[in-house]
Amino acid sequence: MRIEQAEVIVTSPDRNFITLKLTTDTGITGLGDGTLNGREPAVVSYLKDSVAPLLIGRDAHQIEDTWQFLYRSAYWRRGPVTMAAISAVDVALWDIKAKAAGMPLYQLLGGASRTGILAYGHGSGASTEELFDSIRMHQEMGFQAIRVQSGVPGLRAIYGVTPSKTDAGVVTDPGSPDADQHYEPAQRAARPPEEDWDTRAYLRHLPGVFEAVRNEFGPDLPLLHDGHHRMTPIQAAKLGKALEPYDLFWLEDCTPAENQEALRLVRQHTTTPLAIGEVFNSVWDYRQLISEQLIDYVRSSVTHTGGISHLRKILDFAAQYQIKSGIHGPTDISPVGMAAALHLDLAIHNFGIQEYMPHGQRTNSVFQQSYSFIEGYLHPGERPGLGVDLDVDAAGRYPYETAYLPFNRLKDGTVHDW
């Protein structure tokens, strides 16, 4: 079975998505997600100009060999653009192989290890009242685990929080019909929107928010929080310690963890579980974090970590240290990337939790999915392959739109970590 065609499809129904579509000489097609939030054109060029021509004529069954060929023959290893492009190829080939086998992809990864995939949703609010409403709304949608992000008094706009509906002039979303209910990090704009930040104000405010949420929603509900790389190691240690009474499922990205040994200091001071890695793209970013047991959950996505083949290797490494998966699943992972994550989640033994931000209606009209979300649990479905189809005509109705993630500055104007 040879690869005959490799097309890169760019579409922006609610936001930008990059999809690779491979067609074989048997007529079987496969889809892969290469979306890199805010830097999509770089992956499009990498795929179109440097990868697609090399795929034509290759045996579609040789997934590992194709992966190693793309990774090693480029000479320039790793990096978000390269690894997103390789991921798109890898996932498209797994889709093809599973369709050829007539099985849902998870069967080829070892079969189901569980009946459903526990997902967490994004609760947020500029105020505690709005946060409570958002948590209740997510519970009504079925979510049984909630990420909690809160506004901080004195700060105008911060990451992870849907701006208050009364905040005139704040662009809340890039056009999603239900975006007033869902936080969307990127914004359609010619330049990155500017937010503000003050770590001391955040550290003072957050423990009280978690106390209020626990008092309102009880001890059972798993609660998560994302620190988005904004703390120093000693600040992260302090926050982890302060949040211990509220029994978090995890504290995510507490420091910019490319300094892996910094996590030793955080670990010495707190038993709050730590999750890291949505911006990482290879096993090398985790070498020390995993072997020294400095984290509890691996946050990488299938889309940004070289696909199912490479993320599986990271998770198998993590499993030897009782570290579990927490695969990245925001709206900037397309339905194709989400389906790939779900097949992997279902098959691996060391599954932890799956992030899930439902896509908008326009996105769902472009990508038809077979995965389901029932009473807090996701399932990839039983269709052969990934179970996702792309309507190319519908995709063509929504051309690429420039969009950026926001960034933030401290009071004195210093650019801080996003």
Please report, as residue ranges, which positions from 336 to 365 form the binding site for ligand EZ4 (by CB under 6 A).
355
Kindly state whether residue 33 participates in binding ligand EZ4, applying the rule CB under 6 A. Answer: no
Binding site for Co ion (CB under 5 A): 226, 278
User: Which is nearer to ligand EZ4, 40 or 226 (by Cβ)?
Assistant: 226
What is the helix (H) or strand (E) element at residue 24, kind and residue range?
Answer: strand 17-24
Instruction: At 182, list the tokens.
Output: 């869902």
Kindly state whether residue 187 participates in binding ligand EZ4, applying the rule CB under 6 A. Answer: no
The least distance separating ligand EZ4 from the CB of residue 62, rounded to whole angstroms, comes to 31
Kindly state whether residue 226 participates in binding ligand EZ4, applying the rule CB under 6 A. Answer: yes
Contacts 24+ apart (CB under 8 A), 295-298: 295/263, 295/323, 296/250, 296/323, 296/324, 296/352, 297/250, 297/252, 297/273, 297/323, 297/324, 297/325, 297/326, 297/352, 297/353, 298/323, 298/324, 298/325, 298/326, 298/327
Please report, as residue ranges, which positions from 266 to 325 form the binding site for ligand EZ4 (by CB under 6 A).
278
Pairing type for strands 297-298 and 274-276 reads parallel
User: Which is nearer to Co ion, 40 or 278 (by Cβ)?
Assistant: 278
Among 159, 183, 286, 398, the one annotated catalytic: 159
Number of alpha helices (DSSP H) and beta strands (DSSP E) in the chain: 14, 20
User: Which is nearer to Co ion, 92 or 248 (by Cβ)?
Assistant: 248
159 catalytic, yes or no?
A: yes
Kindly state whether residue 95 participates in binding ligand EZ4, applying the rule CB under 6 A. Answer: no
Q: Dihedrals φ, ψ of 247, to 5°? A: 55, 60
> How far apart are the C-alpha atoms of 320 and 333, rounded to whole Å?
28
The least distance separating ligand EZ4 from the CB of residue 406, rounded to whole angstroms, comes to 9
Residue 196: exposed, middle, or buried by beta-carbon count in 10 A (0-12, 13-18, 19+)? Answer: middle
The least distance separating ligand EZ4 from the CB of residue 223, rounded to whole angstroms, comes to 14
Kindly state whether residue 14 participates in binding ligand EZ4, applying the rule CB under 6 A. Answer: no
Among 122, 138, 225, 228, the one annotated catalytic: 228
> How far apart are the C-alpha atoms of 381 and 389, rounded to whole Å?
13
Number of residues counted as binding ligand EZ4 (CB under 6 A): 8
Please report, as residue ranges, which positions from 126 to 185 form the binding site for ligand EZ4 (by CB under 6 A).
185
Instruction: At 291, list the tokens.
Output: 């072997």
> How far apart are the C-alpha atoms of 35 and 353, rounded to whole Å?
22
The least distance separating Co ion from the CB of residue 252, rounded to whole angstroms, comes to 5
Kindly state whether residue 37 participates in binding ligand EZ4, applying the rule CB under 6 A. Answer: yes
The least distance separating Co ion from the CB of residue 141, rounded to whole angstroms, comes to 20
Site string for ligand EZ4, 378-407 (x = CB under 6 A): ---------------------------x--
Pairing type for strands 372-374 and 29-33 reads unpaired
What does 37 bind: Co ion, ligand EZ4, none (CB cut-off 5 to 8 Å by kind)?
A: ligand EZ4
Kindly state whether residue 330 participates in binding ligand EZ4, applying the rule CB under 6 A. Answer: yes
Do 18 and 38 touch, CB atoms closer than 8 A?
A: no
> How far apart are the C-alpha atoms of 31 and 24, rounded to whole Å?
12
The least distance separating ligand EZ4 from the CB of residue 17, rounded to whole angstroms, comes to 12
Residue 28: half-sphere exposure toward Cβ, Cα within 13 Å = 22
User: Which is nearer to ligand EZ4, 74 or 405 (by Cβ)?
Assistant: 405
> How far apart are the C-alpha atoms of 186 and 382, rounded to whole Å?
32
The least distance separating ligand EZ4 from the CB of residue 286, rounded to whole angstroms, comes to 17
The least distance separating Co ion from the CB of residue 327, rounded to whole angstroms, comes to 12
327-348 in b/e burial notation, b at 16+ Cβ within 10 A? bbbbbbbbbbbbbbbbbbbbbb
Q: How far is CA 145 from CA 6, 116, 242, in A?
A: 39, 14, 21
User: Which is nearer to ligand EZ4, 96 or 340 (by Cβ)?
Assistant: 340
User: Which is nearer to Co ion, 71 or 202 (by Cβ)?
Assistant: 202
Residue 104: half-sphere exposure toward Cβ, Cα within 13 Å = 21
User: Which is nearer to ligand EZ4, 66 or 162 (by Cβ)?
Assistant: 162
Q: Name which position in 332, 335, 353, 354 contacts ligand EZ4 (CB under 6 A).
A: 332
User: Which is nearer to ligand EZ4, 233 or 330 (by Cβ)?
Assistant: 330
Instruction: At 408, list the tokens.
Output: 């933030």
What does 305 bind: ligand EZ4, Co ion, none (CB cut-off 5 to 8 Å by kind)?
A: none
What residue ranges bind ligand EZ4 (CB under 6 A)? 37, 185, 226, 278, 330, 332, 355, 405
Q: Catalytic residue positions?
A: 159, 228
